[in-house]
Amino acid sequence: MLRAAWSAPFTRRTLGAELFCLIGAATGAAGFAIVLALLVPGTVASLSIAGTVLGLALLVLLVTGVARWLGALHRALAARLLGASIAPPPPVRAGRRAPLWFGRGLRDGPGWRAVAYLLLKLPVALLEGYAVFWWAAGVADLTYPFWWPMFRNHPPAVHLDPVPVLTPFGAFPVGTFAGTLAAFAAGAAMLLAAPWLARAVVWVDLGLMRGLLGSGRLAQRLRDLEETRARVVDDTAALRRHIERDLHDGAQVRLAALAMNLGRAREALGRDGPAADLPRTRELLDAAHRDAKDALAELRDLVRGIHPPVLDNGLADALATLAAGSPLPVRLRADIPVRPSAAIETIAYFCAAELVANAAKHSRAGTVDIRVAQRDGMLVMGVADDGIGGARPGRGTGLAGLVQRVHTVDGQLRIASPPGGPTRITVTLPLRA
């Protein structure tokens, strides 16, 4: 904790949060002023002209359009500086007829939510500016002991006014070099506290953005279901191609060799009388027997890849079998009072198998812990190892595929794997797919 407190002001996350606060304070104040300038005078002017309905409709379209544009700007800043991805709301669909077109502007829910965000952004922008002040004033206060000997080196008879030192709680004067040490201490304290203040303000702003500038719960849910459906279709197609390739390159080749060896053995036996070449016949029958066993083994592996037979007795027994056959020592604790559906058990088993295999191949781990429990109607499985860490999706460890598989049933996969370890991966799945 102490090391995190000292290093927090110099991390990339803090720099992004400070830049977001700096830009967000300016854009928030400007957006509030623009929306307020459009709403108040525009409403008065629209009510004072003959075309009241037309004026109000144009005003609504202008205000919501500007608010949407400013909301898109804030989402882009959040994505670029904070790494927070906020799905945009659906665009406004204009009707063919003018009245319908104006009506759609009045019913533009995302546009009005963007207006509400810009109005609520003002106090948040003030807090963001306050967070930036902590950082800027802290840096300035740190410089006092360094420039003081150069610019305050005056004869004793010369009297200079004290120099003010800015702090979040007011200013205090400094008239001696010893006082600059107090300024330095105040600046150091402000720099250490500024990252946490900036992160707190950013957290509030991101909450407002997700609630008012996002796509909304229903639209986001629909988008998630569309993505889930697309992933399920892709996974099914990939599984079908995998099965076809395994059958074509594996079991089909073995069965073809089996048929050829049996045909040659039949020719070597002849139709009538004793076998003309008994040793050759035995050799062909032995080869056919090996091909039959290899084909059976490959078919078993293929079936195990689709639905492992060990799952017939439940997920706990399947994980126990997996732990017993692992090249690494695996400590397993499973508490599953309510058995999940077959699809959920399959996903959980394959996740555990892939994570144990990753720990054995990549993490240089000595032990693996698997904990499975049920919490609030969800199946929660944690897999941890004492390896070198650094696990990330998309780095050839199979984690990206696990994330997609878990998302197909509205599950979550969280990864905590700092460099140096340990790695802790938590898979949360519903009990019913």
Q: Which two tokens stand for residue 189?
A: 């304290």
Residue 314 has pLDDT above 60, yes or no: yes
Report how far residue 153's alpha carbon sits from residue 389's, in angstroms, rounded to the nearest whole number: 54
Using one digit for the tens of pLDDT, what is the confidence trace for 80-128? 888 777 877 777 665 444 444 455 556 677 777 888 888 888 888 888 8
In this structure, which long-range contacts are made by residues 336-342, counting pairs with CB atoms below 8 Å and at least 24 apart in sequence?
336/372, 336/373, 336/374, 336/379, 337/374, 338/374, 338/431, 339/314, 339/315, 340/315, 340/379, 340/429, 340/431, 340/432, 341/431, 341/432, 341/433, 342/307, 342/311
Residue 305 has pLDDT above 50, yes or no: yes
Bridge pairing between strands 170-174 and 163-167: antiparallel
Tokens 């922008």 belong to which residue? 125
pLDDT of residue 100: 47
Residue 303 has pLDDT above 70, yes or no: no
Tell how far CA 422 is from the center of its chain: 19
Four-CA torsion 7, 11, 15, 17, nearest 10 degrees: -90
pLDDT of residue 50: 44
pLDDT band, residue 293 (cuts 50/70/90): confident
Residue pair 283/269 in contact by the 8 Å Cβ criterion? no
pLDDT of residue 47: 47
Closest CA to 347 of 428, 277, 226: 428
Using one digit for the tens of pLDDT, what is the confidence trace for 44-78? 454 444 445 555 555 566 677 777 888 888 888 88
Residue pair 114/242 in contact by the 8 Å Cβ criterion? no
Report how far residue 218's alpha carbon sits from residue 77's, in angstroms, rounded to the nearest whole number: 24
Residue 291 has pLDDT above 80, yes or no: no
Using one digit for the tens of pLDDT, what is the confidence trace for 10-51? 677 778 888 888 888 888 888 778 777 766 655 545 444 444
Q: What is the pTM of this model?
A: 0.52
pLDDT band, residue 380 (cuts 50/70/90): very high
Closest CA to 105 of 114, 96, 95: 95
Of 121-130, 298-307, 330-339, which range is least confident?
Answer: 298-307
Residue 368 has pLDDT above 80, yes or no: yes
Looking at residues 285-295, what average pLDDT do you find? 74
Query: Mean pLDDT, the chain, as a whole number?
Result: 76
Looking at residues 154-181, what average pLDDT do you find? 77
**Which of the listed ranges 94-108, 185-199, 294-308 does the model predict with the highest average pLDDT?**
185-199
pLDDT band, residue 8 (cuts 50/70/90): low
Q: Which two tokens stand for residue 74?
A: 């804030």
